[in-house]
């Protein structure tokens, strides 16, 4: 059925990209966060995770990301390199992988975990954060528990680090939403997941699920939303504030704006496939932001990708950039262990405000 093919477009499918969102004034306030060093960990509920994780949406996705099975060796090296450099958080989903490769991202992660031999022969403290899709046929808590068991089976692991709801159905199927929540409770109670999180939940829905889970004795540890210099409006600020007030970690997805903030694409140099169509609309309005990123990167002897990811860390989030090659992984590892100054943060945020285009919101994002 067409649903599998439409999943990868989830990020793009909304029709309106919100232009010239006024930047909330509080985003300009210099924030004081401690510096993170590559091997330092931060608390996320009961877990200790690196200040940046790696996203694996591309691992198995041919349609949007051009994945080929011939990339697997390189992906395994990326996985090993990440762990050897202190990165222990990997984000995936049971819907990642297109067509016959459905579930490929989880399968690859499972295989890489089994084959990884750390310094003392062990696998260390790897945290897999997977997401369970709210497919219309998953209507009962038991079906979500079964989805969780299927993910464990694909990865051949005994327990998932963070079991996340991929999106909320509150806007179009409120009854299914309760089944999702109860499913999360059941997974946690049965010890299938160490912690639970949500994704694409807005501040109102986040508060509701937090209270519901709390009453059932289940702590919510993370909320994942699109968060980058290309998507930093009132919504992101509000959700960050709610997360802070509840003691929940905000995981920043698409921190590189699907690659647009790396500086390697331009209106005359677009990626192939559906991303090209999106970038064609957004890139022409991005010059102020891209030149500010370039300027800071040059002065700092960093790359634009490193600066864009570091901005997310400085905002108190845990970014999970997607990586497809060793070169990208090496570069992105250089985004931790230092921090942008308050002036540089301001410069980037003003430049983002001056850039008339924003990233398109995920259609599943709720209020």
Ligand X SMILES: NC(=O)c1ccc[n+]([C@@H]2O[C@H](COP(=O)([O-])OP(=O)(O)OC[C@H]3O[C@@H](n4cnc5c(N)ncnc54)[C@H](OP(=O)(O)O)[C@@H]3O)[C@@H](O)[C@H]2O)c1
Q: Which residues bind ligand X (CB under 6 A)?
A: 10-11, 55-58, 65, 91, 199-200, 224, 253-259, 262, 264, 271, 305, 320-324, 328, 331-332, 362
| CB nearer ligand X, residue 139 or residue 297 | 297
DSSP, residue by residue, 18-59: -TTPPPPGGGGSPP------TT--EEETTEEE-SS-EE-TTT
β-strand pairing of 127-132 with 318-319: unpaired
Q: Smaller CB distance to ligand X: residue 57 or 311?
A: 57
227 in Cβ contact with 250 (< 8 Å): yes
Reading the block at residue 65, the tokens are 């990301």
DSSP code at position 231: B
Contacts of 320 (CB under 8 A, 6+ apart): 52, 53, 54, 55, 89, 91, 224, 251, 252, 253, 255
CA–centroid distance for 21 within its chain: 22
Q: How far is the CB of 121 from ligand X (least distance, A)?
A: 29
Report, in Å, the least distance between residue 366 CB and ligand X.
Answer: 12
Nearer to ligand X, 121 or 257 (CB): 257
Of 160, 225, 144, 240, the C-alpha closest to 196 is 160
Q: Is 96 a catalytic residue?
A: yes
List, in order, residues 6 or more apart from 206 with CB less than 8 Å away: 198, 223, 239, 242, 243, 246, 248
**Smaller CB separation from ligand X, 151 or 332:** 332
Q: Which of 253, 251, 256, 268 is nearest to 303 (CA)?
A: 256
Residue 223 structure tokens? 């909320």
Beta strands in the chain (DSSP E): 42-44, 47-49, 54-55, 89-91, 127-132, 160-165, 193-199, 220-226, 249-253, 318-319
Choosing from 67, 96, 135, 253, the catalytic residue is 96
Query: Smallest distance from the beta carbon of 29 to ligand X, in angstroms?
Result: 25
Nearest CB to ligand X, comparing residues 93 and 187? 93
- Can you tell me the distance from the alpha carbon of 341 to that of 89, in angstroms, rounded to the nearest whole number? 26
Burial 2-36 (b: 16+ CB within 10 A, else e): eeeeebbebbbeeeebeeebebbeebeeeeeeeeb
CB closer to ligand X out of 85 and 342: 85
* 315 three-state secondary structure: coil
Please say which residue, 215 or 271, places its beta carbon nearer to ligand X.
271
In whole angstroms, the minimum distance from the beta carbon of 32 to ligand X comes to 26
Shortest CB 254 distance to ligand X, Å: 4
Smallest gap from Cβ 12 to ligand X, in A, equals 10
Min separation Cβ 201 and ligand X, Å: 10
- With CA atoms as reference, report the closest residue to 279 among 302, 246, 311, 257: 257
Catalytic residues: 96
């Amino acid at each position: 059925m067409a649903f599998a093919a439409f999943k990868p477009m989830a990020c793009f499918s909304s029709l309106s990209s919100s232009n010239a969102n006024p930047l909330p004034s509080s985003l300009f306030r210099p924030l004081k966060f401690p510096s993170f060093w590559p091997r330092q960990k931060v608390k996320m509920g009961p877990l200790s995770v690196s200040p940046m994780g790696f996203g694996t949406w591309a691992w198995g996705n041919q349609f949007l990301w051009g994945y080929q099975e011939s990339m697997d060796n390189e992906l395994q090296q990326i996985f090993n390199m990440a762990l050897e450099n202190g990165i222990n958080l990997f984000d995936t989903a049971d819907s990642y992988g297109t067509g016959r490769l459905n579930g490929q991202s989880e399968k690859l992660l499972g295989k890489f975990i089994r084959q990884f031999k750390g310094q003392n022969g062990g696998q260390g403290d790897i945290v897999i954060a997977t997401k369970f899709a709210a497919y219309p046929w998953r209507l009962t808590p038991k079906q979500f528990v079964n989805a969780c068991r299927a993910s464990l089976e694909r990865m051949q692991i005994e327990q998932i680090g963070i079991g996340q709801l991929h999106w909320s159905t509150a806007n179009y199927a409120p009854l299914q939403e309760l089944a999702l929540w109860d499913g999360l409770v059941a997974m946690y109670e049965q010890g299938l997941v160490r912690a639970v999180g949500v994704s694409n939940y807005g501040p109102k829905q986040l508060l509701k699920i937090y209270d519901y889970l709390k009453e059932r004795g289940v702590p919510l540890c993370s909320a994942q939303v699109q968060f980058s210099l290309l998507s930093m409006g009132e919504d992101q600020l509000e959700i960050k504030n709610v997360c802070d007030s509840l003691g929940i970690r905000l995981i920043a997805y698409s921190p590189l704006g699907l690659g647009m903030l790396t500086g390697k694409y331009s209106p005359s140099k677009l990626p192939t496939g559906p991303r090209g169509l999106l970038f064609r609309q957004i890139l022409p309005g991005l010059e102020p932001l891209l030149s500010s990123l370039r300027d800071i990167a040059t002065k700092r002897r960093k790359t634009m990708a490193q600066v864009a990811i570091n901005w997310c860390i400085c905002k108190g989030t845990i970014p999970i950039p997607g990586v497809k090659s060793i070169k990208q992984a090496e570069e992105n590892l250089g985004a931790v262990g230092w921090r942008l100054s308050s002036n540089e943060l301001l410069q980037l945020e003003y430049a983002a405000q001056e850039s008339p285009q924003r990233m398109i919101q995920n259609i599943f994002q709720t209020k």
